[in-house]
Structure 1
Amino acid sequence: MVDLSQAPFHLDRGAIDWVERTAAGMTLDEKMGQLFINLNTSFGEPYLDTVVRRYGVGGIRFMGSDSATVQQHIRYAQSVAKIPLLVASNPEMGGAGSIDDGTLVTTHLGAGSSPDPDDAYRLGLVGGRETAAIGCNWAFAPIVDIHRNWRNTVIGTRSFGDNADIVIERAKRYFDGLSESGSAAAMKHFPGDGVDERDQHVVTTYNTLGYDEWNESYGRVYRELIAHGVQSIMIGHIGAPELSRHFRPGIADEDILPATLAPELLQDLLRGELGFNGLILTDASMMVGMTQAMKRSDAVPAAIAAGCDMFLFFRNPLEDLEYLRAGIENGVVTEQRLDEAVTRILGLKASLGLHEKPKDQLVPPVQALSVIGSDEHVEIATTVADHTVTLVKDTQHNLPLTPASHPRIRLYGVTGQSDFTGTDPRGYLDIAREELERAGFEVHVFKDAAQRRAEGEEGVYFHTVMADEASGDYTEKYDAAIVFANVAGFAQEATVRIRWSSPMAAEIPWYVTEVPTIFVSLNQPNHLVDVPMVKTLIHSYAPTREAIRATVEKITGASEFTGTFNDNVWCGDIWGTRL
């Protein structure tokens, strides 16, 4: 059984007694409920009464909203919970992403690109503080995937880098910062994303490294972070054929399963060879990476039987609970496996001190929200932006570009679709215009055909826009062109690339032969595959005012570039990217 006195729980006798006493007093239904983490899709109290009272879930994660709304939501959930809840967040970029008014510090890639390892600590610190203020006690971070395949965009900005050393260093510092808030961490996505180019949200993906190579890279990351004290691990819907074959010689190709369903990866490797004693949870169970592997009625108990202690998100609560019950009754999930999972869940709660807190103290007071978006956190974001903005190339020596040398700027925006958070993907362009004007430039913003038609202009098509834009007097109107790209994609495409506004769009950098052109990526690091013609490329890592202001300061020479980059920017050395 589980030794709760050892890492990562470190429970004393009193806390262990609480776990054992609580588990012994639970019904089968209560034990089953503890194994699920619900995605709360409503802020209504009757909804929470059903989720928390009726189903007795062990944990919750909430949909995004402002911090005051979320804090009250969590407060009510804890008030009606028989056993204190694990309350999860995704503070991958700081407070942003967990709450609408949270501070966006930078991405994991930004923190990995800084010359200062403590920027990863600052990222975790802000994320931990802001999510703890609303009542969260569990962070689905840090991300410890290695971005080995430049085509992989699901972790393109969500990995600290392309090698184990940088991931280990920065993930430890992130964990240290996060831990100051008292939150537990769930590193992800075991056995490791970044080898396959696809997104496990929409298809099962695979880490195809051999056993020895995996151990020297991903395995070393997990060993180091486990030793550093990480309390839980999120399992990806990622298969690892060579690892499965190592532990199950002769396993058939059709029996290679994503790690969430593979006992050889969870029990033999993660629990056995890596010695992980903490809590294991699945990644979101609606991802096609899991659902394509087996039918839901089998997958729910199979994930627990394979070694997962918690199941992330119901599809339908009544159905999923019955699927688990059937798996217990038919022996797929043994009584010992169920009790081990419950013990680890309660153990994690006890390690956070939740068992000792009165219900009315499980969530901080309203006054705690003052830390969210505070001047201190904005200043941290400003400092991190100054460190991380990176000059990838300037082969034409276009920099510095100043209002004195190039006063008239043609400003282009390259935008991906809004993702499921509903965030306005074009908001960055107004910030870019404002910051360029603040620096003293005269800015002329390009509008594509759809934008011009939306403003009431008639007879506008992509070819008429190109004719207007690519005219012989372009250099008489503009002295330089600056392109800001905020191309994000998540859980909708297998990979993400630039999608121009129309065929042969006028914003495609045809103008590089006419005027000095600067391309700034606010998101993905692989844009040179689509714009190899640009001679000056900058990575800024976030569509925030802090990052954009730092970028403009470095473009004008008011500040030095200090950020670094890895070889993924060259897109596998496709011809022309370095020119």
Structure 2
Amino acid sequence: MTEPLSLSPFNLAPDDIAWVRATLARLSSTQKVGQLFNFATFGNDQQPIRALNRLQPGGMHRFMGPDLAEGWRATRLALEENEVPLLISGDIEGGNTSFPFITPLPNQMGVAACADLDLTTRLAAVVAAECRALGFNWSYTPVVDLNHAFRSAVVGTRSFGSDVTTVREQSLAYIRELQRHGVAATAKHWPGEGYDDRDQHLATTINPLSMAQWEASFGAIYRAVIDAGVMSVMSAHIALPAWIRHKRGHSAPQREDFQPASTSALLTRELLRDELGFNGLVVSDATTMAGIVSWAERKELVPSVIENGCDMFLFSRTPEQDVQFMLDGLRSGALSEQRLEQAVTRVLALKAALGLHRKSLDERLPPLAETERCLRAPTHQALARQMAAQSITLVKDTEQLLPLRPERHRRVVLVRQPFKAFFPGSPEPSVEPLLASLRAEGFELREFDTAQPPSRDNADLMLYLVGNEATPTASHIYLDWYALHGDIRGAMTRYWRDLPCLMISFGQPYFLYDAPGVPAYINTYSCVEPVQEALLHKLLGREGFTGVSPVDAFCGQEAARF
């Protein structure tokens, strides 16, 4: 019989397999249970990390604080105090899902808008280099979801778009290069997000596709990334009723149809493992989300995640209690010894595939000076500027407003949405660099004021700056006209028949749905500084627009094109 650890995606040599087996054999049941957990750490305080170290977890997910040196020391502590080498994971998604000390790269939708797989490959190499410099050996990327329900606030800019071929090819380029450089990739969110406009952070979401539709879309994507050797898949709090009904042979709706994949043996063990042949590690999505905590009582939920097919349990509000629930489940039979052994074997196999058992501490986290030299290296920043410039997409300019000129558009009225940070530790988004540059070019900027409404007598241009990147718990994407224009009368007022108007989205690309008549509209996908620098040159006509929209920015509304 073929040794499964010698097969893709682990591809372990006999010595590595021997390490996995020997390590598994010497771990106690409590230590094995510890290996099932990947706990979140927020900021750089060392005390919480020491508390988690006592549980001997399999991994830690780092939401680092803003100080690089303190963050480096906190990660070093985590690595030093665990005998079995730790998986250090992160959501390294680009855009605003980043840290202030790393290269400001585009998010996935910005990457896709470049429409250049060579650039995607080069970006993945930069991500891998900076991950390794920070001690990360496991990235929860790429997102392989499809942008279908455009109101979804959580998919949006985290995805490569709505086209199956684009998502597949971009994901393959990214995965191959990231893993070639020693960082494990993760395809998420199994079994496929994007057709339900709700957010699994707030509710269990539903993939409504028939199995034929699923096979032609998500099935094709997952089969491709599995064949390419993706090391891990994230099983999410998403239901796929068509598969459950196919397996159970019923048609009338039943509660089981809507069970999240993260707790479903039919979806994770039978569809992902048996049908698609995935041999790598399955990690649950965050178990603090409403999409899973609303499904069952916690003490039942914790062991069921592993028993039903996940190999690692992601995040916990009460780590000690969840570890105890897992141990209780093992003693009661809710978690079988067989599943425990299988799951821990895969956790150890991922560590061995990354060579963690052979690496010194300095190889797993380089000395701080070396880390500082790698982050924001000149070549990395040059790539960020190139991709930023190539991604910006001019969606429409029906009245030939662009390029902007101070002699024609000097008096600018700004209408702004508040911008919000995405993940803990992410830099606070701001468009102030762009505004400072516009002032330096001779434009006079003032904020919209209901007491002084814009008119041809006092303004030459209305500039709408909107759009957060994909944001958990934001529920839905929409323009709040009341907030933008200050009151109920303002909410019903549109200025573009009286003044030139330009709307720029620095995040989600779908605001033409709520502003179909705006004559000029640009999607930049994020507001990282390289994007703002490139945008200025394009607004002033010094560079052309080259971005290719990865989605239908008109949201199916033909009227929005005019």
- Give the TM bin, normalised by the shorter chain: over 0.9
Answer whether contact 2:163 2:550 (CA < 8 A) is retained. no
Choose 497-506 or 194-203, whichever is displaced more. Answer: 497-506
Which residue in the other structure is 1:78 paired with?
79
Matched, 1:321 2:323: yes
Residue type at the aligned position of 1:368: T
Residue type at the aligned position of 1:378: Q
Q: Identify the match of residue 503 of structure 2 among 519, 528, 533.
A: 519
Residue type at the aligned position of 1:16: I
CA change 1:365–1:10 in 2 (3 A) is same
CA change 1:531–1:171 in 2 (3 A) is same
> What's the CA shift for 1:127?
2.1
Which residue in the other structure is 2:190 paired with?
190
> What's the CA shift for 1:510?
2.5
> What's the CA shift for 1:118?
2.5
Which residue in the other structure is 2:378 paired with?
375
Which residue in the other structure is 1:534 paired with?
518
Choose 352-361 or 85-94, whichever is displaced more. Answer: 352-361
Answer whether contact 1:511 1:517 (CA < 8 A) is retained. yes
CA change 1:339–1:88 in 2 (3 A) is same
CA change 1:212–1:504 in 2 (3 A) is same
Alpha-carbon distance between aligned partners in 2 of 1:2 and 1:287, rounded to the nearest angstrom: 36
> What's the CA shift for 1:509?
7.2
Residue type at the aligned position of 2:181: S
> What's the CA shift for 1:533?
2.3
Which residue in the other structure is 1:565 paired with?
549
Q: SS in structure 2 opposite 1:55?
A: coil
> What's the CA shift for 1:417?
4.5
CA change 1:2–1:507 in 2 (3 A) is farther
Residue type at the aligned position of 2:380: H
- Residues 479-518 of structure 1 aligned to structure 2 (within 5 Å): 479-488=460-469, 490-499=471-480, 500-501=483-484, 502-504=486-488, 510-518=494-502
Residue type at the aligned position of 2:462: A
Residue type at the aligned position of 1:361: E
Which residue in the other structure is 1:346 paired with?
348
Which residue in the other structure is 1:543 paired with?
527
Which residue in the other structure is 1:294 paired with?
296
Alpha-carbon distance between aligned partners in 2 of 1:3 and 1:276, rounded to the nearest angstrom: 11
Residue type at the aligned position of 2:474: E
Alpha-carbon distance between aligned partners in 1 of 2:493 and 2:118, rounded to the nearest angstrom: 37
Of structures 1 and 2, the one with the larger relative CO (CA 8 A, separation 6+) is 2
Choose 336-345 or 410-419, whichever is displaced more. Answer: 410-419
Alpha-carbon distance between aligned partners in 1 of 2:516 and 2:410, rounded to the nearest angstrom: 25
CA change 1:378–1:507 in 2 (3 A) is farther
Answer whether contact 2:311 2:344 (CA < 8 A) is retained. yes
Q: SS in structure 2 opposite 1:483?
A: strand
Residue type at the aligned position of 1:32: V
Which residue in the other structure is 2:335 paired with?
333
CA change 1:99–1:390 in 2 (3 A) is same
Choose 118-127 or 352-361, whichever is displaced more. Answer: 118-127
> What's the CA shift for 1:409?
2.7
CA change 1:508–1:279 in 2 (3 A) is farther
Answer whether contact 1:487 1:498 (CA < 8 A) is retained. no
- Residues 168-317 of structure 1 aligned to structure 2 (within 5 Å): 168-250=168-250, 253-256=254-257, 257-317=259-319
Alpha-carbon distance between aligned partners in 2 of 1:352 and 1:102, rounded to the nearest angstrom: 23
- Residues 10-49 of structure 1 aligned to structure 2 (within 5 Å): 10-41=11-42, 43-49=44-50
Alpha-carbon distance between aligned partners in 1 of 2:227 and 2:296, rounded to the nearest angstrom: 34
Matched, 1:384 2:367: no
Aligned residues: 554
Alpha-carbon distance between aligned partners in 1 of 2:16 and 2:256, rounded to the nearest angstrom: 41
CA change 1:119–1:305 in 2 (3 A) is same
Q: SS in structure 1 opposite 2:435?
A: helix
Residue type at the aligned position of 1:78: L
Answer whether contact 1:134 1:369 (CA < 8 A) is retained. no
Answer whether contact 1:144 1:167 (CA < 8 A) is retained. yes
CA change 1:125–1:344 in 2 (3 A) is same
Alpha-carbon distance between aligned partners in 1 of 2:303 and 2:539, rounded to the nearest angstrom: 55
Alpha-carbon distance between aligned partners in 1 of 2:339 and 2:21, rounded to the nearest angstrom: 15
CA deviations over 1:14-60 (Å, ceiling 9, x no partner): 000000000000100000000000111363444323211x2110000
Alpha-carbon distance between aligned partners in 2 of 1:303 and 1:368, rounded to the nearest angstrom: 36
Q: SS in structure 2 opposite 1:110?
A: helix
> What's the CA shift for 1:246?
1.5
Choose 258-267 or 557-566, whichever is displaced more. Answer: 557-566
Q: SS in structure 1 opposite 2:189?
A: strand
CA change 1:145–1:567 in 2 (3 A) is closer
Answer whether contact 1:412 1:445 (CA < 8 A) is retained. no
- Residues 63-212 of structure 1 aligned to structure 2 (within 5 Å): 63-65=63-65, 66-93=67-94, 97-212=97-212
Residue type at the aligned position of 1:55: L
Answer whether contact 1:205 1:289 (CA < 8 A) is retained. yes
Alpha-carbon distance between aligned partners in 1 of 2:203 and 2:394, rounded to the nearest angstrom: 34
Could you state the TM-score of these two structures normalised by the residue count of structure 1?
0.91
Alpha-carbon distance between aligned partners in 2 of 1:420 and 1:383, rounded to the nearest angstrom: 25
> What's the CA shift for 1:330?
2.0
> What's the CA shift for 1:78?
0.8
Structure 1 vs Structure 2: percent identity of aligned residues?
33
Residue type at the aligned position of 1:498: L
Alpha-carbon distance between aligned partners in 1 of 2:424 and 2:559, rounded to the nearest angstrom: 35
Answer whether contact 2:503 2:521 (CA < 8 A) is retained. yes
Alpha-carbon distance between aligned partners in 2 of 1:230 and 1:244, rounded to the nearest angstrom: 25
Answer whether contact 1:487 1:497 (CA < 8 A) is retained. no
Q: SS in structure 2 opposite 1:192?
A: coil
CA deviations over 1:186-242 (Å, ceiling 9, x no partner): 110000100100110011101010111101100000010111111000111000111
Alpha-carbon distance between aligned partners in 1 of 2:156 and 2:489, rounded to the nearest angstrom: 25
Which residue in the other structure is 2:364 paired with?
362
Choose 196-205 or 241-250, whichever is displaced more. Answer: 241-250
CA deviations over 1:281-326 (Å, ceiling 9, x no partner): 0000000000111111111111101100000012212221121112
> Which structure 2 segments of 5+ residues have no match?
none
> What's the CA shift for 1:425?
5.5
Alpha-carbon distance between aligned partners in 1 of 2:243 and 2:407, rounded to the nearest angstrom: 60
Residue type at the aligned position of 1:3: P
Q: SS in structure 2 opposite 1:477?
A: coil
Which residue in the other structure is 1:460 paired with?
none
Residue type at the aligned position of 2:531: A
CA change 1:107–1:98 in 2 (3 A) is closer
> What's the CA shift for 1:491?
2.5
Alpha-carbon distance between aligned partners in 1 of 2:225 and 2:426, rounded to the nearest angstrom: 32
Which residue in the other structure is 1:450 paired with?
none
Matched, 1:414 2:397: no
Alpha-carbon distance between aligned partners in 1 of 2:47 and 2:452, rounded to the nearest angstrom: 57
Residue type at the aligned position of 1:196: D
Could you state the TM-score of these two structures normalised by the residue count of structure 2?
0.94
Answer whether contact 1:409 1:442 (CA < 8 A) is retained. yes
**Could you list the runs of 4 or more consecutive aligned residues of structure 1 that deviate by over 4 angstroms after TM superposition?**
416-420, 422-426, 505-509
Alpha-carbon distance between aligned partners in 2 of 1:511 and 1:292, rounded to the nearest angstrom: 45
Residue type at the aligned position of 2:528: T
Q: SS in structure 2 opposite 1:234?
A: strand
Which residue in the other structure is 1:455 paired with?
none
Q: SS in structure 1 opposite 2:452?
A: helix
Which residue in the other structure is 1:457 paired with?
none
Alpha-carbon distance between aligned partners in 1 of 2:547 and 2:373, rounded to the nearest angstrom: 31
Residue type at the aligned position of 1:181: H
Alpha-carbon distance between aligned partners in 2 of 1:509 and 1:372, rounded to the nearest angstrom: 47
Alpha-carbon distance between aligned partners in 2 of 1:564 and 1:36, rounded to the nearest angstrom: 40
CA change 1:490–1:87 in 2 (3 A) is same
Answer whether contact 1:486 1:543 (CA < 8 A) is retained. no
> What's the CA shift for 1:488?
4.3
Alpha-carbon distance between aligned partners in 1 of 2:220 and 2:186, rounded to the nearest angstrom: 17
Q: SS in structure 2 opposite 1:10?
A: coil
Residue type at the aligned position of 1:537: Y
> What's the CA shift for 1:522?
0.5
Alpha-carbon distance between aligned partners in 2 of 1:347 and 1:420, rounded to the nearest angstrom: 29
Alpha-carbon distance between aligned partners in 1 of 2:493 and 2:389, rounded to the nearest angstrom: 27
> What's the CA shift for 1:339?
0.4
CA change 1:368–1:360 in 2 (3 A) is closer
Answer whether contact 1:149 1:568 (CA < 8 A) is retained. no
